[in-house]
Chains A and B, each alone.
Chain A
Amino acid sequence: MLQQLVNGLILGSVYALLALGYTMVYGIIKLINFAHGDIYMMGAFIGYYLINTFHMNFFIALILTMVLTAILGMVIEFLAYRPLRNSTRIAALITAIGVSFFLEYGMVYLVGADIRAFPQALQTVKYNLGPISVTNVQLTILGVSIFLMMALQFIVQKTKMGKAMRAVSVDSDAAQLMGINVNSTISFTFALGSALAGAAGVLIGLYYNSIDPLMGMTPGIKAFVAAVLGGIGIIPGAALGGFIIGLLETFSVSIGLSSYKDAVVYAILIVILLVRPAGILGKNVKEKV
Chain B
Amino acid sequence: MKKNLKSILSWLALIAIVYLALTVLVSAGVIRLYHLQILMGIGISMIMAMGTNLVLGFSGQFPLGQAGFMAIGAYATAILTKSNPTYAGFYLSMLVGMLVAGLVAVIVGFPTLRLKGDYLAIATLGVAEIIRIAIVNGGDFTNGAAGLTGILPYTSWQLVFAFVVIIAILMLNFLRSSVGRQVISVREDEIAAESMGVNTTKIKVMTFAFAAMTASIAGSLYVGYIGTVVPKDFTIMRSIDYLIIAVLGGLGSMTGTIVAAIVLGILNMYLQSVSELRMIIYSLALILVMVFRPGGLLGTKELMLSKLFSKKAKEGK
Q: Which residues of A contact B (CB under 8 A)?
A: 30, 32, 80, 83-84, 87-95, 97-102, 104-106, 108-109, 113, 217, 221, 224-225, 228, 259-260, 262-263, 265-267, 269-270, 273-274, 277, 287, 289
Most A-side CB within 10 Å, residue of B117, B133, B286: B286
With A and B bound together, what is the CA distance between A87 and B125 in angstroms? 24
Q: Is the CB of A273 within 8 A of B276?
A: no
> With an 8 A cutoff between CB atoms, is B60 at the interface?
yes
Are A277 and B118 interface neighbours, CB within 8 A?
Answer: no
- Check B283 against A101 for contact (C-beta < 8 Å): yes
Check B137 against A259 for contact (C-beta < 8 Å): yes
Q: Tell me whether A91 and B283 are in contact (CB under 8 A).
A: no
B40-96, CB < 8 A from A:
56, 60, 62
Q: Does B236 sit within 8 A of A, measured CB to CB?
A: yes
The closest CB in chain B to the CB of A275 belongs to B111
CB–CB B119/A102 < 8 A:
no
Q: Tell me the complex Cα distance, A89–B136, Å.
A: 34
Does A90 lie within 8 Å of B60, measured CB to CB? yes
The chain B residue sitting closest to A103, CB to CB, is B283
B134 located at the interface, meaning its Cβ lies under 8 Å from any Cβ of chain A in the complex: yes
In the complex, are the beta carbons of A270 and B56 less than 8 A apart? no
Contacts of B110 in A (CB 8 A): 274
Q: Chain A residues with Cβ under 8 A from B251's Cβ?
A: 90
Whole-angstrom CA separation of A147 from B115 in the bound complex:
35
Residue in B130, B191, B282 whose beta carbon sits within 8 Å of that of A101 in the complex: B282
A94, A98, A266: the one within 8 Å of B126 (CB): A266
B142 → A minimal CB distance (Å): 13
Shortest Cβ gap from A219 to chain B (Å)? 13
- By CB atoms of chain B within 10 A, which of A92, A97, A109 has the most? A97
Q: B116 is contacted by which of A32, A90, A97, A287 (Cβ under 8 Å)? A: A287
Complex contact B130–A287 (CB within 8 A): no
Per-residue CB contact flags for chain B residues 103-127 toward chain A (1 = under 8 Å, else 0) read 0000010111001111101110111
CB distance from A109 to the nearest CB of B (A): 5
A274 to B221, CA, bound (A): 34
B191 touches A102 (CB 8 A): no
Complexed CA–CA distance, A274 and B115 (Å): 9
State whether A221 and B279 are in contact (beta carbons under 8 Å apart), knowing that A102-B287, A263-B134 are contacts in the complex.
no
Question: With A90-B60, A225-B126 in contact, do A273 and B121 touch (Cβ < 8 Å)?
Answer: no
Contact: A270 with B62, CB < 8 Å?
no
A269 to B121, CA, bound (A): 12
Contact assessment for A260 and B133 in the assembled complex, using a CB-CB cutoff below 8 Å: yes
